[in-house]
Chain A
Amino acid sequence: MRFAAAITEPTRTPTANAPTRRQTIKRMLAAAALLTTTALTGIGFGASPAHAEDEIRIGVIYPLTGAAASTGVELKAAAELAAAIVNKEIPAPPGLVAGIGLPHLNGAKIKLIFGDHQGNPQVGATEAERLITSEKVVALTGAYFSNVTATASQVAERYGVPFLNGESSSASLTQRKFKWFFRTTPHDDLFVGNFFTFLGDMEKKTGDKLRSVALFNENTLWGNETTKLQVKLAEEQKFTIAEKILYPAKTTQMTSEVQRIKAAAPAVIMQSSYLGDAILSMKTYKELGFSPKMLLANDAGFNDSEFLKTMGKDGEFVISREVWALDQAERNPLIKQVNDLMHQRTGVNFNGNSARAFTGIAVLADALDRAGSTKPDAIREALQKTDIPASGLIMPWKGVKFDANGQNELGQGIIVQVQGGQYVTVWPFDVATKPVVYPMPAWDGR
């Protein structure tokens, strides 16, 4: 029987497969042709030679296809909203930066020319080149992914075109001493630094000592980098590290880790975990009945939309860092108004990424207006002189003002806590919507 099968099968296979394979190839060719035509028409439209004098072209590079496409589409919508406000297609909420449009450019309109980097640094660089050379954009913005921002901004640097980045957080981007690169968002180092400032503030507020800290980070690049930075900051700011654990990511049990932290009895745990490990560690804290005074999570797994869904009540009181939170709209009417505009247009609320993309375009428009010209040098000079107060922004920042490296020195992260199944802003105290629940209640006292 087996032998017979062995003989019939190979003869059957090619004949049965041949037409389907041919069909597949045909289909693939058709799809490819379709893709090419759409891409070409896209370029054709963009490159329409009639550059009206009163139209200022800005290149925007985002991941519009590929794994991060859903985020890219959100970012694009936020950028378009900002452009519509600058162009006075929709009335600007009073006080918003760039809400006055471009009076110094005779009320010119900005036009966003989008490039798709597909999550690929090489494609990002090519798109930057295309936007600069054939689309003649006066400035670039994007690209969300830090590694793509790195390559795309290199191209801008070479051509001498300003590149304003709104949402990439790798610290190294503004350590390159670029002349044409500006970044509005705070970077990773600052976020980690915030934790220590926050602890200092909490000490003052509560009178408790929160100097003993356990570092509990996963052992990939991210966890290692975070640990190094935390050790450095802890030494500088006189915190003692009660325990330092780099645990193997995706582990089957965390009892040895949690047991060790429990034995070291720190006041605070600083934890960096992706989702699976974040869930397992919370389960293990509960199993071993361990609750420190504070659990400070470094974003990632603890801020994943799945975290609260899966953890339910057991996720309460975790404190994490964020760039933006929807509850900010309660505090600041401007944020509410702009968020309402976003919701009307797209049906979704702002989040940390789209709010930063919106702010990027707004800051760029503000500089364009003050420059009163579309010459790269003038725009760059205007960007350097940027000084936007917190009241003009939809971000929980102190304002926008660039240092010599192009980094916004007035940006800050916020710290959120899970309260009643929501992430609410608890720090900085001046933008907080709820007080911190402190200390974290014991498991059996919930």
Chain B
Amino acid sequence: MTADIFIQVLVSGLLIGLIYALVAVGLTLIFGVMDIVNFAHGEFLMLGMYASFWAFALFAIDPIVALPLTALLLFAVGVIVYQTVIRRILKAPMLSQIFATFGLMILLRGLAQFFWKPDHRLIPHSLVSGNIALGPVQFGLPQFVAALGAVGVTGALWMFLHRTRLGTALEATAIDREAATLMGIDGQKMFALAWGIGAACAGLAGGLIATFFPIFPEVGSNFILIAFVVVVLGGFGSVTGAFLAGIIVGLIEVLGGFLIGPEYKTAIVLSLLLVVLLVRPRGLLGKA
């Protein structure tokens, strides 16, 4: 194997890893704040992709231009899901919570299939298309822009959580719900906010990959398994952890797939999950 190929594989791994990170960040945020695992997270990604698709198909708005719109829309979806479904199961046994979000996943998939047909769709002429060649290393502009967007969104989220009053309140709720409530923070509002932001992150990820990934009702299932691995590796609830873990998983998947064999790439990623659970169950940056 030459150095060129090695660098190329690393770059490809990094690019897809950043996307994984963005998907996982929303998932981990929701879990961190309220200890609920959102199985419908992949469907938020799917909705984000369809939002971009319809913006393009109906109003000829490019997915990249439509990103703020997609984020806003998915924020609303997240809040609505919280208000209608999640709020009612906050104190329910964990199994009920799992089934609720699992049911939501099936519902959203079914609705997408019903309204938008099970067809695969693609956005044909995005603003970002074509390839970039840096010496021997080649990568697609859409993938590069998506990765860049993922870094930007995750960075913005980090700033929000650590540098703004509202973000700090959200963090406080995540650390100790009771104490935060005693300090005058409205827990319900914070939960709704977490769902809104979590869904918006997934939606943004969907909007970013819509420029190169086929769009279909079940697309969430392709990503959700990896997103869970990323969340576990990064540490449940840690945004920074999820970001780092996303990159690591992307690199390991692409590099491992290349070196050992693509047929094992999913196995490699899931073995990583097992190792993390055995050796360091709280993940890279998780709360002990």
Given known A-B contacts A250-B222, A306-B119, A310-B121, A256 and B214 have beta carbons under 8 A apart: no
Given known A-B contacts A255-B9, A255-B12, A283 and B212 have beta carbons under 8 A apart: yes
Q: Does B226 contact A (CB under 8 A)?
A: yes
Q: Of A252, A311, A444, which contacts B122 at CB under 8 A?
A: A311
In whole Å, how far is B9's beta carbon from the nearest beta carbon of chain A? 6
Chain B interface residue bracket vs A: 35 or more
- Neighbouring A residues of B20 by C-beta, 8 Å: 252
| Assembled-state Cα–Cα distance A193/B120 (Å) | 30
- Are B261's CB and A276's CB within 8 A? no
In whole Å, how far is B41's beta carbon from the nearest beta carbon of chain A? 14
Q: Mark A275-298, 1 if CB is under 8 A from B, else 0.
A: 110011001001111000000000
- Are A263's CB and B1's CB within 8 A? yes
- Are B16's CB and A253's CB within 8 A? yes
In whole Å, how far is B218's beta carbon from the nearest beta carbon of chain A? 8
| Assembled-state Cα–Cα distance A288/B120 (Å) | 22
| Assembled-state Cα–Cα distance A45/B226 (Å) | 57
- Are A276's CB and B216's CB within 8 A? yes
Which one of B27-35, B173-181, B251-259, B279-287 contacts A? B251-259
| Assembled-state Cα–Cα distance A263/B262 (Å) | 13
Chain B, Cβ-Cβ closest to A307: B120
In whole Å, how far is B259's beta carbon from the nearest beta carbon of chain A? 9
| Assembled-state Cα–Cα distance A256/B250 (Å) | 11
Q: Of A247, A287, A306, which contacts B120 at CB under 8 A?
A: A306
In whole Å, how far is A421's beta carbon from the nearest beta carbon of chain B? 13
Q: Does A260 contact B (CB under 8 A)?
A: yes
Given known A-B contacts A248-B266, A283-B212, A312 and B16 have beta carbons under 8 A apart: no
- Neighbouring B residues of A250 by C-beta, 8 Å: 218, 221-222
In whole Å, how far is A2's beta carbon from the nearest beta carbon of chain B? 8
Q: Does A192 contact B (CB under 8 A)?
A: no
Q: Mark B178-218, 1 if CB is under 8 A from A, else 0.
A: 00000000000000000000000000000000001110101
Q: Does A73 contact B (CB under 8 A)?
A: no
In whole Å, how far is B118's beta carbon from the nearest beta carbon of chain A? 10
- Are B263's CB and A247's CB within 8 A? yes
- Neighbouring A residues of B216 by C-beta, 8 Å: 276
- Are A287's CB and B263's CB within 8 A? no
- Are A260's CB and B262's CB within 8 A? yes
Which one of B68-76, B78-86, B137-145, B237-245 contacts A? B137-145
- Neighbouring A residues of B124 by C-beta, 8 Å: 310, 312
- Neighbouring A residues of B214 by C-beta, 8 Å: 275-276, 279-280, 310
Q: Which residues, 163 to 181 on B, are CB-close (under 8 Å) to A?
A: none
- Neighbouring A residues of B226 by C-beta, 8 Å: 252
- Are B254's CB and A263's CB within 8 A? no
Chain A interface residue bracket vs B: 20 to 34
Q: Does B223 contact A (CB under 8 A)?
A: yes
| Assembled-state Cα–Cα distance A255/B255 (Å) | 9
Q: B-side binding surface: helix, strand, loop or mixed?
A: helix
- Neighbouring B residues of A245 by C-beta, 8 Å: 261-263
Q: Of A251, A283, A443, which contacts B222 at CB under 8 A?
A: A251
| Assembled-state Cα–Cα distance A357/B273 (Å) | 51
- Are A246's CB and B131's CB within 8 A? no
- Are B9's CB and A252's CB within 8 A? no
Q: Does B277 contact A (CB under 8 A)?
A: no
Q: Mark B118-140, 1 if CB is under 8 A from A, else 0.
A: 01111010000001010000111
- Neighbouring B residues of A255 by C-beta, 8 Å: 9, 12-13, 16, 254
Chain B, Cβ-Cβ closest to A254: B262
- Are A287's CB and B139's CB within 8 A? yes
| Assembled-state Cα–Cα distance A258/B12 (Å) | 11
Q: Which residues, 1 to 18 on B, are CB-close (under 8 Å) to A?
A: 1, 5, 8-9, 12-13, 16
In whole Å, how far is B120's beta carbon from the nearest beta carbon of chain A? 5
In whole Å, how far is A418's beta carbon from the nearest beta carbon of chain B? 16
Q: Does A433 contact B (CB under 8 A)?
A: no
Given known A-B contacts A310-B121, A312-B124, A289 and B5 have beta carbons under 8 A apart: no
- Are A248's CB and B254's CB within 8 A? no
Q: Does A80 contact B (CB under 8 A)?
A: no
- Are B262's CB and A256's CB within 8 A? yes
- Are B263's CB and A246's CB within 8 A? yes
Q: Of B1, B122, B140, B258, which contacts A287 at CB under 8 A?
A: B140
| Assembled-state Cα–Cα distance A356/B257 (Å) | 42
Q: Footprint of B on A, CB under 8 Å? A: 219, 245-248, 250-257, 259-260, 263, 275-276, 279-280, 283, 286-289, 306, 310-312, 443-444
A sample of 27 inter-chain contacts (CB < 8 A) reads A245-B261, A248-B265, A250-B218, A250-B221, A250-B222, A251-B265, A252-B222, A253-B253, A255-B9, A255-B13, A256-B9, A256-B12, A256-B253, A256-B256, A256-B257, A256-B258, A259-B12, A259-B258, A260-B257, A260-B258, A263-B1, A276-B214, A276-B216, A287-B131, A288-B8, A289-B131, A306-B119
- Give the 5 A-B residue pairs with the shortest CB-CB distance, closest first: A256-B257, A287-B140, A255-B12, A310-B122, A257-B262
Q: Footprint of A on B, CB under 8 Å? A: 1, 5, 8-9, 12-13, 16, 20, 119-122, 124, 131, 133, 138-140, 143, 212-214, 216, 218-219, 221-223, 226, 253-258, 261-263, 265-266
